[in-house]
Amino acid sequence: MRLQEVMSGIKNIEILGNGDLDIASIKYDSRRTAKGDLFAAVKGENFDGMDFLEDAASRGAEAFLVPRGAEKRVEGTYIYAYDVREALALASRNFFGDPSGRLNVVGITGSNGKTTTSYLVHGILEHAGIAAGLIGTVQYLVGGQIISAARTTPESPDLLGLMGAMIKSGCTACVMEVSSHAVTLSRVKGVKMEVAVFTNLTRDHLDFHNDMEGYYRAKAGLFVESDVKHRVVNCDDPFGQRLIRELGTETITFGIQRGDISTEGPVTIQEWGSSCRLATPWGPLEVATTLPGRFNLYNIMAAVASCGLLGVDAGTMAEGLSLIGRVPGRFEKVDRGQPFTAVVDYAHTPDALMNVLENARAITRGRVITVFGCGGDRDKTKRPLMGSVAGQMSDVVIVTSDNPRSEDPEIILDQIMEGLGDPAGVVERITDRRTAIDHAVREARPGDMVVVAGKGHENYQIVGKRILPFSDVDELARALEKLAGEEL
Residues 6+ apart with CB under 8 A from 385: 203, 350, 419
Q: Residue 127 and residue 316: Cα distance in Å, rounded?
A: 7
User: Would you list the domain boundaries of the chain?
Assistant: 3-95, 99-323, 332-487
Domain 3-95 has CATH 2.60.40.1180: no
**307 burial class (0-12, 13-18, 19+ CB within 10 angstroms)?**
buried
CA distances from 286 to 252, 307, 364 (A): 19, 15, 26
pLDDT, tens digit (0-9, with 9 covering 90-100), for 431-486? 999 999 999 999 999 999 999 999 999 999 999 999 999 999 999 999 999 998 87
Instruction: Please report the pLDDT score of residue 270 as a whole number.
Output: 80
Q: Residue 131 and residue 169: Cα distance in Å, rounded?
A: 9
Q: Residue 421 and residue 442: Cα distance in Å, rounded?
A: 26
Q: Name 468's bridge partners.
A: 461
CA distances from 356 to 113, 133, 181, 332, 451 (A): 12, 28, 25, 11, 9
Tell me the whole-structure pTM to 2 decimals.
Answer: 0.93
Q: Residue 244 and residue 262: Cα distance in Å, rounded?
A: 16
Instruction: Please report the pLDDT score of residue 247 as a whole number.
Output: 93
Residues 6+ apart with CB under 8 A from 132: 121, 122, 125, 126, 171, 172, 173, 174, 175
Instruction: Please report the pLDDT score of residue 209 as a whole number.
Output: 59
Query: Is 307 within 8 Å of 128 (Cβ atoms)?
Result: yes
Query: Is 199 within 8 Å of 351 (Cβ atoms)?
Result: no
Q: Residue 85: which of 105, 103, 65 has the closest Cα?
A: 65
Task: Report phi then psi at 136, rounded to 5.
Answer: -170, -170
Query: Is 160 within 8 Å of 195 (Cβ atoms)?
Result: no
Low pLDDT (below 50) residues in the chain: none
Instruction: Please report the pLDDT score of residue 208 as a whole number.
Output: 63
Q: Which residues of 151-160 are buried (b: 16+ CB within 10 A; e: fewer)?
A: ebbbbbbbbb
Instruction: Please report the pLDDT score of residue 91 as a whole number.
Output: 98
Instruction: Please report the pLDDT score of residue 487 as a whole number.
Output: 65
Query: Is 476 within 8 Å of 456 (Cβ atoms)?
Result: no
Domain 332-487 has CATH 3.90.190.20: yes
Instruction: Please report the pLDDT score of residue 203 as a whole number.
Output: 64
**100 burial class (0-12, 13-18, 19+ CB within 10 angstroms)?**
buried
Domain 99-323 homologous superfamily, CATH: Mur-like, catalytic domain (3.40.1190.10)
**90 burial class (0-12, 13-18, 19+ CB within 10 angstroms)?**
buried
